[in-house]
Amino acid sequence: MKKPFFVMLMCAALVGAFCLPALWAVDAPQDMVLKMPQGTPTKAPVKFSHAGHKALDCKACHHNWDGKSDKGFKCSDAGCHDIFDPANKSDVKSFYKAFHDMNSAKSCMGCHKKAKADGKNAPIACNACHPQQ
């Protein structure tokens, strides 16, 4: 009696772990270029690969996303990181800070810094993400 129940429980766990997440998968672009939405950038745009970050939970970066809608994907969305003034880099709503906050795991630099400390290959030098033009 216990063995069939255990087998059914394991099958349900495997289906839940591997099949169900695919039903809610978002069609994220595989490769994209991250550029400053307005103003004059001081560095080259960043080539970003969603495929290279597939091990992460989408909400690690898209922290205001509800997990269902098409809203809350862009850092530059109104009310999120919509300050584009290069002189104002420290404001929590700064577009710059969304990517470069060394103390936030929601930021590229913060996440890469933590990954590097954990022994993973994560670029943290400016020109690793912003190649010379």
C-beta separation of 45 from 33 below 8 A = yes
Determine whether the annotation assigns residue 19 to a binding site: no
Of 115, 113, 133, the C-alpha closest to 124 is 113
User: 94 forms bridges with which residues in the sheet?
Assistant: 83
DSSP at 58: G
Task: Residue 78: count other Cβ atoms within 10 Å of its Cβ.
Answer: 6
Coil, helix or strand at residue 127: helix
Q: Is 61 annotated as a binding residue?
A: yes
Q: Is 100 annotated as a binding residue?
A: no
- CA neighbours closer than 13 Å in the CB half-sphere of residue 125: 5
46, containing H or E segment: strand 46-49
11 annotated as ligand-binding: no
Binding positions for heme c = 50, 53, 58, 61-63, 75, 80-81, 108, 111-112, 126, 129-130
Binding positions = 50, 53, 58, 61-63, 75, 80-81, 108, 111-112, 126, 129-130
